[in-house]
A and B are shown apart, each in its own frame.
Chain A
Amino acid sequence: MMTTRNFLVPDATFFIEMAAFIAVLAVMSRYVVPRIRNAMAERQNSIVAALAAAEAAEARTEDAEAEAARIRADARRDARAITDQARAVRDHLIAEGRTAGVEEYRWLAGRAGRELQRRSDLSSRRFRQQARTAAITAAQAYLGTDVDVASLSRLVDERLDGGDGNRASPAGKAAPSISPHVPAMVP
């Protein structure tokens, strides 16, 4: 006689399956799940630590950027001060150079004027001397006798100092002084 089993009623297989599951549960609870949980916790801790380190690094970066901005602002301010100072020095040097140049120009112009005057006087003296000598020689040759040298020389000087003498001899006229024109030429 064949008996049919009621599928809602457990049989002895129940004990085998309970023993099997308890064994599996024991192995999993002891050797598998705790290790995986520990690994997960370690990884989470390392991630949290890495995030904290990243946050600290970000804070340091922000501090460094603020410090860099401050240094840039200081550098700009210093550069501006140096530029202003250099500009003032430049203006001062230009003014100084201009003053020195004007003074040197005046000195050179004065020296040139004096030199011109000296040479003009020298030429005038030579011309007078030559004129006197020529007049005396011509007078002696014309008269055939000695002439009063002093009188003739005075006469020649008077003629040279007069209007005709000036046209006849440019050297006889006193060289114009350039000194009055010098200030007009100064920039």
Chain B
Amino acid sequence: MSALKAVSIQADIAIATLAVGVLVVTLGLLARPGSRPATPRGIRLLWEMSIDVADRAAADLPDEVRGRVTATAVTLFWFVAAANWLHLIPGSPLPAPTSDINLTLALALTAMGVVHLTGIQVRGPRGYWRHYLSPWWLAPVKIAEEAIKPMTLALRLFGMVFASALMLLLIGEILPTPAAVVPHVLWSLFDVFIGAIQAFIFALLTILYFQAVLPSSGGGLTRPPRPIPSR
């Protein structure tokens, strides 16, 4: 009986996460190019912008994994952004799922899992583990760093969104209702900005972690100039 009690599930967080997942997948499927005109507009333009930014950030990664890196980063960005903004929808009964450590930790561990699996796939198991041993005396530090990375990813996001949600709660608790409207609106607008920034940081750090475990094909964070013919 005590074991069953230990398996506690926060229904509102789980439902909010599923709602975010459905929302992101739906928007992604709507943004897919079909019989639509070639010029991107609306939601598809946003998706293309995010994919382009991720592609540029992953420009120096090997071609065979760049698609996966871009897909992971873009999915993380939109998932985290939608999760951050969910509680800002007026009348939304769902909390921001990223204000709970479960989702942020799940996102961080999944991202790092994809990073390590991709590193093993590209370098091979032996080559992948070998890069932890060069030099050998730094191996404990590197291994500890690999453990710290998902923790920092998860706690950074969780801390920001949790604090933001706490601020909104405090504004509502401390100030009387008429006086709380303006600070609530202002903080919500600031929260939109913070939510986008946190999502971008999460995705960008994931790309950097990919770059740390994958061999570089040259270049840096910026993509080399596109081959536009000179006029």
Contact = CB atoms under 8 A, between A and B. Distances in A.
A14 interface: yes
Chain B CB within 10 A, most for which of A9, A10, A54: A10
A37 B110 contact: no
Chain A CB within 10 A, most for which of B38, B67, B97, B103: B103
B75 A25 contact: yes
Contact of A10 (B31, B38, B67, B102): B102
Contact of B55 (A15, A35, A37): A37
A33 B100 CA distance: 28
17 contacts: A7-B100, A13-B8, A13-B102, A18-B109, A21-B21, A24-B21, A24-B25, A24-B79, A28-B25, A28-B75, A32-B32, A33-B75, A34-B71, A36-B33, A36-B51, A46-B38, A48-B228
- A interface: dominant SS: helix
A67 interface: no
B8 A12 contact: yes
B145 interface: no
Nearest to A54: B231
Given A17-B106, A23-B21, A29-B68, A35 B32 contact: yes
Contact of A20 (B21, B32, B48): B21
Interface string B54-79: 01000000000001101110110001
A40 B51 contact: yes
B229 interface: yes
Given A8-B101, A11-B10, A44-B226, A33 B17 contact: no
By size class, the interface of chain B is 35 or more
B51 A33 contact: yes
Contacts, number: 131
By size class, the interface of chain A is 35 or more
Chain A CB within 10 A, most for which of B7, B55, B101, B162: B101
Contacts of B17: 16-17, 20-21
Chain B CB within 10 A, most for which of A11, A24, A39: A24
**7 nearest CB pairs, A to B:** A32-B28, A18-B106, A39-B33, A33-B71, A29-B71, A14-B102, A28-B75
A17 B51 contact: no
Interface of A: 5, 7-18, 20-25, 27-29, 31-37, 39-40, 43-44, 46, 48, 51-52, 54-55, 58
Contacts of B85: none
B226 A29 contact: no
Contact of A14 (B52, B75, B105, B226): B105
A51 B70 contact: no
Contacts of B13: 13, 17
Given A29-B68, A55-B231, A22 B110 contact: yes
B133 to A, nearest CB: 30
Nearest to A9: B101
B9 A12 contact: yes
B10 A55 contact: no
Contact of B14 (A16, A32, A43, A55): A16
A13 B14 contact: yes
Contacts of B107: 17, 21
Given A18-B106, A21-B21, A29 B227 contact: no
Contacts of A20: 14, 17-18, 21
Given A11-B10, A13-B100, A28-B25, A55 B229 contact: yes
B31 A32 contact: yes
B180 interface: no
Nearest to A19: B106
Interface string B3-47: 000011110011001100100110011011100001000001001
Contact of A40 (B48, B103, B114): B48
A27 B79 CA distance: 13
